Structure 1
């Protein structure tokens, strides 16, 4: 248990999404889940995650499966996705097998079960994270390593459920605090600075003085920021950048508390 506390502390202090993901998936891999899929969005609709380019998808699966699973929308047709959309907590995939055999899955869901089974994906665990916003949703899927049965996963889950969920929750909470690694063109430092001044209530003239550029250059920075974030107004750009932790970022901390 002390090892888990130490791991959670390292996750809580992780400096980047990649670093936190590596710590979390290392733990899950040691339990027998080397293939992990994670998704988070702040822009979900009633039955979708919103624009995929605004969502965060992380995986340890091979690139071909990741492309198939995320970019082609396979995940959204799985019974595990439906479960995560309507539940909070964690469960094994034993219920998926039971529902499939009983004919209780939709046609699309049953087909995803068959496709996964064909490539050896039979057992695993789903974690659906609690969120404070009706538009936010995060979930984690842990795919059991080859040779690990549904029954073996159930037994492990019964023994280590609390520990596993604690690590998963800490990983999720840290990831959503950090800047999103977006797939669109990233904001430049000047675009970010302009948005931050606007968020502070400054006018274009104010921002021009503060940044020591012309008002026309400020407008250019804001226009390019709107394009990068795929929004129509500067107000929307500020809101979206804030939601995605892209403005008012903390500078990197010195390692091990070293003096400045």
Structure 2
């Protein structure tokens, strides 16, 4: 991976406001190191328990539709060795981890099946990276597939030589992606719902909002209820927080 200076490659991530452009930029930079396909998953918010809903995770993938269907939609990620490692570790691990555990008889039948399916899809050599923010509880995982490199040992050497700059690029991409609006399917609020939540966030009561918006009190209550339902939360305060994190209000 060849950089003139780190800032030359980090600046575009920090300045770009377009999610597609960020994703394309990441591919260009990682291809210079031999990583042709990327899987990215990032939790959107701190969890009160260990369970993580797919609705609370940003997922981007260039692994291909077949992989996405069985791994994400088919929930193979729940049993995957690399996912388990990323959820409980920080840093980077070679994909030799799965092969080593398999040779030692430490994989479940489900994990063996997932591993073999990945090999069938050409995901043979690469690295898994976990970025963790212990203060906020946020977790980010990357899977980097080195499709054109036949030996994991060669991939390991590339990673060792470039790990500091790769970590910087991955961290910059993650930070910039998190700052962009991320609204899951089905959670898009109407203009009225966004306006009501924004007034709630400003400390206004239902009666205040009714007067400000010129709507009946029951209509304001209806907008609040429907916003909570769309955002899959229990109360209006949670709706304000979730809509804010998604960039639907206060932008």
Alignment correspondent of 1:30: 32
For 1:147 and 1:209, locate their aligned partners in 2 and report how far apart those are by CA, in whole Å.
Answer: 65
For 1:119 and 1:165, locate their aligned partners in 2 and report how far apart those are by CA, in whole Å.
Answer: 26
Deviation at 1:191, TM superposition (A): 1.4
For 1:213 and 1:148, locate their aligned partners in 2 and report how far apart those are by CA, in whole Å.
Answer: 65
Rate the CA distance shift 1:236–1:15 in 2: closer, same or farther, 3 A: same
Gaps of 5+ in 1: 250-260
- 1:120 is paired with a residue whose SS is coil
Alignment correspondent of 2:72: 70
- 1:176 is paired with a residue whose SS is helix
Rate the CA distance shift 1:45–1:190 in 2: closer, same or farther, 3 A: same
For 2:215 and 2:28, locate their aligned partners in 1 and report how far apart those are by CA, in whole Å.
Answer: 47
For 1:206 and 1:19, locate their aligned partners in 2 and report how far apart those are by CA, in whole Å.
Answer: 42
Deviations 1:9-30 (A, max 9, x none): 1111221333322222232233
Gaps of 5+ in 2: none
Rate the CA distance shift 1:55–1:101 in 2: closer, same or farther, 3 A: same
Q: Matches of residues 58-207 of structure 1 in structure 2 within 5 Å?
A: 58-133=60-135, 135-207=137-209
Deviations 1:61-105 (A, max 9, x none): 222321222111112211111111111112221222222222233
Deviation at 1:176, TM superposition (A): 1.5
Q: Contact between 1:90 and 1:165, CA under 8 Å: does it hold in 2? A: no
Alignment correspondent of 1:252: none
Rate the CA distance shift 1:197–1:103 in 2: closer, same or farther, 3 A: same
**If the length of structure 1 is used for normalisation, what is the TM-score?**
0.86
Is it true that 1:2 corresponds to 2:29 in the alignment?
no
Instruction: Give the paired residue count.
Output: 248
Rate the CA distance shift 1:15–1:46 in 2: closer, same or farther, 3 A: same
